[in-house]
Amino acid sequence: SAREFLDIQLSHISHHFEAVFSSVSDYGEPKTAHFYLEVCRRLGVSPRQVVHVGDSRDFDYEIPRQAGITAFHLDRKHGGDSYVVGNLLEFVHRLREL
């Protein structure tokens, strides 16, 4: 999302996040492997230290995996595959397994 929307969407939970990045607003591009690697660089972590979850199979699962990030596809209708989760509680369970 653009930064303007993120600020509204996260207004009640922003205190839970150390940093929030918008590929569109901060980097002027969609989520690309370059974007994910740049976020890792700015956070001072390697891609292998990052776990990402999102509802876009391409932008939140395939592309982060290309950057070396462990990624999960949030598919509320078809969860259950090894890197597909049906909800965020299932995602937490998978994180604990890692």
Residue with tokens 């939970």: 13
Per-residue pLDDT reduced to its tens digit, 6-59: 989 999 999 999 899 999 999 999 999 999 999 999 999 999 999 999 999 999
Q: Which long-range contacts (CB under 8 A, 24 or more apart) does 22-31 make?
A: 30/59, 31/56, 31/59, 31/60, 31/63, 31/64
Per-residue pLDDT reduced to its tens digit, 51-97: 999 999 999 999 999 999 999 999 887 755 677 888 888 888 888 88
DSSP H helices, 2-76, are 3-9, 23-27, 33-43, 63-66
Q: What is the DSSP letter of 60?
A: I
Cα 69 from Cα 9, distance rounded (Å): 25
Q: What is the pLDDT of residue 5?
A: 93
Cα 87 from Cα 72, distance rounded (Å): 11
Tell me the whole-structure pTM to 2 decimals.
0.79
Closest CA to 93 of 61, 51, 58: 51
